[in-house]
Copies of this chain bind each other. A is one copy, B any other.
């Protein structure tokens, strides 16, 4: 069975929900290759006391370990929120085949810094807005509770 971007974003959302339940900013990511999830990650900045422990970094590192490769040209990373500059750079170095993200992040997303410059590998494909409403709502709910 061929799953679509919406299905995989739902899986990334499950990761984001785990972050939410743990009191972490609710961002989730998965890495898919050949129609199979090979890695998962959710934000663990608070738990690890490590501001580099974003969902994407954890999912990427897990995928590299799993494959024994530092590049992922055949893989797709799904992430619930627009990547930040750090994760964007990590995806560049990983030569990821495709990035699919859900909600835009006006404050911390890469676009507010990189603007018109393409920060990813030239061959990386980018899709945005998949389940954007659900992905954004989880973030809003998190920050609403903390105000």
Task: Point out the residues of chain B lying under 8 angstroms from A69, CB to CB.
Answer: 49
Q: From DSSP, what is the main secondary structure of chain A's interface residues?
A: helix
Task: Point out the residues of chain B lying under 8 angstroms from A60, CB to CB.
Answer: 51-52
Give the size range of A's interface with the partner. 20 to 34
A70 touches B89 (CB 8 A): no
A63 to chain B: closest CB distance in Å?
A: 10
* 8 A Cβ contacts from A57-90 to B: 57, 60-61, 64-65, 68-71, 84-90
Instruction: Answer whether A50 and B65 are a contact pair too, CB < 8 Å, given A86-B93, A119-B85.
Output: yes
Interface string of A40-52 (1 = CB under 8 A from B): 0000011011111
Which residue of chain B is the closest to A86 with respect to CB atoms? B89
A117 touches B119 (CB 8 A): no
A121 to chain B: closest CB distance in Å?
A: 11
B89 touches A64 (CB 8 A): no
Interface string of A101-139 (1 = CB under 8 A from B): 000000000000111010100000000000000000000
Interface residues of A, Cβ cutoff 8 Å to B: 45-46, 48-52, 57, 60-61, 64-65, 68-71, 84-90, 92-95, 113-115, 117, 119
